[in-house]
Amino acid sequence: MPEAGDMAPDFELPSTAGQLRLQDVAGNKNVLLAFYTEDNTPLCSSEVSVFAEDYEIVQQLGAEIVAVSADDLESHKQFSAAIGGVPFPLVSDEDLTAAKAYDVVDEAGKRSRRAVFVIERGGRILHAEPWFQPGNPTQYEEIFRALGFDV
């Protein structure tokens, strides 16, 4: 699993904002890369919703959020609408390309588990939360500290 200090594995996959290459985003901004298990599940809805609520803060810190799951684009569009809209790209990783590169494939080998990586401009990982729990305030604070927010 990539750790703080490692170069972030690149990937190019379809997203709700069109084809997305991680290094194209990380070349210009810090990136909060959030893997989640599945659209339309309570805990993952909470994870994505919380990041959506704080999206303006993330942007003010000069960063972008990219969220990844194994769901297809149609599922992502329905999920986004169901939770009131998501202002950042939802990436479709149906073959688990990104999840495998970040070593966050679930035990069944069918989905990614919840994990978050903060990637600095240029592609180096600043912070990794390999077992992210959306309700854990300490993890959330550490992610925002890595983005440069004084928590």
d(CA 28, CA 21): 12
Amino acid at position 75, single letter: S
What is the CA 138 to chain-centroid distance, rounded?
Answer: 18
Using the structure block, give the residue that is written with the tokens 């200090």.
5
Verify whether residue 103 is a known catalytic residue: no
Please report how many Cα atoms fall inside a 13 Å half-sphere around the Cα of residue 143, on the Cβ side. Answer: 29
DSSP states of 105-121 = B-TTSSSBPPEEEEE-T
Which is the catalytic residue, given 34, 44, 67, 125?
44
CA angle, 36 as apex, 45 and 17 as ends, to 5°? 85
Residue 12 burial (10 A CB sphere; 0-12, 13-18, 19+): middle
Any idea which residues carry the catalytic annotation? 44
